[in-house]
């Protein structure tokens, strides 16, 4: 564990050095992240403009869901996104080799290689949006629930991580489909909408979208002091199962890795 933190500390500092070496790119990423963060809330405001509720979810609940999602995505983008975005390129150009030959778990090393500190702006916007929603709609939140939602948010991030790992691992077989990361970005739309919206789908499709729908939806209830033990149990189970399965899938895929020639 100590070794992991030592390696992570060095990588974090190296990433900071790279960031500060290119000021223009830093400002560009900061603006881009902020703009997209704000845009995601504009989308929800537009979608809920003519809407009062979806079944048991009120307009405020839906907006709060998106605020929490903003925090989750901000944190995920900071710690993992750049690594997943780069993964198809690593496979396509045979650059995965140097990760596989280091005496450290390649999945872990790949996961922590890049840290994009500027993406914390998106998490910050999420916080601001939640604050605004609470004041505008006079929502009272449960502080116990907020504290309890921290581990739940971490579970949600773990689940989202495993989904990304599943899909990007596919590029080991389909190395030309480097645009698969764009597909996953677009699936973020599923996470913005309450899970009840998908109950009209048939069972198979519902089970496919279920992991994404519960990433951000589960902490919402906790925020508002509504303790849904069933939802928590579901998120915990699905997270652990997906993390385990994605790990197995990754190890299986490595047997088919062909290491593109230089």
Partner 1 sequence: MRYFRIFLIHLHRVIENRSRSIVWTLLALFNPLIYLCYWLAVYKSSGSMIGGWSLSEVTSYYLLLSVAGSFLIAHIDESVAIEDIYEGGLVKYVIRPFSYFWDLFFGELSWRIFQGLIGIGILFIIGISFQLLISFVSSPLHIFMTFISFLLAYTLSFLFKMILGFSAFWLTEFRGIQSSAEIILLIFAGFIVPLQFLPTQIKEISFLLPFAYMVYFPILAIQGRLEYVELLGVLGMQILWIGFFACVYRLMWNRGIKLFTGVGQ
Partner 2 sequence: MPIISVDHLSKHYQVHKKEPGFIGSLKSLVARKYETVKAVDDISFSIEEGEVIGFIGPNGAGKTTTLKCLSGLLYPTKGKLSVMDFTPFDRKHPFLRQISLVMGQKNQLWWDLPAMDTFLLNKEIYQIPTKRFSDVVDDLSVRLSVQDILHVPVRKLSLGQRMKMELIAALLHSPKVLFLDEPTIGLDVVMQKTIREFLKEYNEAYNATIILTSHYMGDVEALCKRVVVINFGHILYDGLLSDLVKEHAPYKIIKVIFSEVVEEKKLNEYGETKSYVFPEWEVRVKHKDANDAASSILKHLPVEDITIENPQIEDVIAGFFVANKKEVK
Q: Which residues contribute to the site for partner 1 (CB under 8 A)?
A: 24-25, 28, 31-32, 35-36, 39, 42-43, 46-47, 49-55, 174, 176-180, 182-183, 186-187, 189-190, 193-194, 196-202
The listed partner (partner 1, partner 2, none) that binds 259, CB under 5 to 8 Å by sort, is partner 2
The listed partner (partner 2, partner 1, none) that binds 178, CB under 5 to 8 Å by sort, is partner 1
At residue 123's C-alpha, the angle toward residues 120 and 124, to 5°, is 90
Cα–Cα distance measured from residue 24 to residue 196, given in angstroms and rounded to the nearest whole number: 43
Give least dist CB 10 to partner 1, A.
28
Give least dist CB 168 to partner 2, A.
19
Cα–Cα distance measured from residue 147 to residue 128, given in angstroms and rounded to the nearest whole number: 18
Please report where in the chains the tokens 């070794």 appear, as a residue: 3
Cα–Cα distance measured from residue 100 to residue 102, given in angstroms and rounded to the nearest whole number: 6
Grouping H, G, I as helix, E, B as strand and the rest as coil, residue 108 is helix
Strand ranges inside the chain, DSSP E: 53-54, 57-58
What is the contact surface with partner 2 in residues (CB under 8 A)? 3, 6-7, 10-11, 14, 17-18, 21-22, 94-95, 97-98, 100-104, 109, 254-259, 261-262
The listed partner (partner 2, partner 1, none) that binds 190, CB under 5 to 8 Å by sort, is partner 1
Rank residues 150 and 252 by Cβ distance to partner 2 and give the closer one. Answer: 252
Give least dist CB 107 to partner 1, A.
23
Give least dist CB 262 to partner 2, A.
3
Grouping H, G, I as helix, E, B as strand and the rest as coil, residue 261 is coil
Radius of gyration of the chain (CA): 19
Q: Are the C-beta atoms of 221 and 68 separated by less than 8 Å?
A: no
């Amino acid at each position: 564990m100590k070794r992991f933190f030592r390696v992570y500390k060095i990588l974090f500092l190296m990433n900071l050095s790279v960031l500060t070496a290119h000021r223009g790119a830093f400002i560009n990423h900061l603006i881009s992240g902020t703009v997209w963060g704000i845009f995601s809330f504009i989308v929800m405001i537009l979608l809920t403009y003519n809407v009062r509720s979806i079944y048991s979810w009120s307009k405020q609940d839906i907006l709060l869901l998106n605020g929490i999602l903003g925090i989750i995505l901000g944190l995920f983008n900071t710690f993992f996104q750049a690594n997943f975005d780069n993964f198809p390129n690593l496979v396509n150009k045979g650059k995965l080799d140097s990760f596989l030959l280091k005496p450290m778990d390649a999945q872990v090393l790949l996961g922590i290689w890049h840290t994009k500190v500027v993406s914390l702006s998106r998490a910050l916007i999420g916080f601001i949006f939640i604050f605004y929603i609470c004041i505008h709609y006079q929502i009272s939140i449960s502080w116990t629930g907020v504290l309890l939602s921290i581990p739940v948010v971490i579970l949600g991030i773990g689940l989202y991580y495993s989904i990304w790992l599943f899909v990007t691992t596919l590029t080991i077989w389909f190395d030309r489909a480097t645009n698969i990361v764009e597909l996953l970005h677009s699936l973020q739309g599923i996470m913005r909408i309450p899970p009840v919206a998908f109950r009209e789908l048939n069972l198979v499709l519902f089970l496919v979208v279920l992991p994404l729908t519960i990433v951000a939806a589960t902490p919402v209830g906790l925020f508002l002091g509504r303790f849904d033990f069933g939802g928590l149990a579901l998120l915990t189970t699905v997270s652990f199962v997906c993390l385990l399965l994605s790990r197995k899938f990754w190890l299986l895929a490595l047997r088919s890795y062909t290491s593109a020639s230089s």
